[in-house]
Amino acid sequence: PCSGTGVLRRKPDAKWTLTQKFIDELLLTQSQILDEYAPMLKRGGLLVYSTCSIFPSENKKQVQKFLERNAGYQLLEDRKISPADSGFDGFYMAKMICQNSPA
């Protein structure tokens, strides 16, 4: 789940549904999903996090907070596609690797 701010160019009416409460709930849900599914990876497994959002709080900051809470994971690469630069939808992608020993 994400705010969808990366697709506002195609769906401008969606901006009217964005509230701080909605964003706060999304941030919590995103955090919970990362924390609940990441332990399912074995050592060397890849975790990909992606949103169609342009908000740093849903993207790079969300990944940074996850990495702070979960020392057994390392960011390999991330990428932001900006609608302003690309002329297309906006996206964020992060690839992390699990460095924990298998349970």
> Is 2 among the catalytic positions?
no
| Nearest-angstrom CA–CA distance, 34 and 48 | 10
The answer to whether 55 touches 23, Cβ cutoff 8 Å, is yes
How many CB atoms lie under 10 A from the CB of residue 86?
10
Sheet holding 91-98: strands in order across?
46-51, 91-98, 73-81
Please identify which of the residues 18, 23, 52, 93 carries the catalytic annotation.
52
Active site positions, annotated: 52
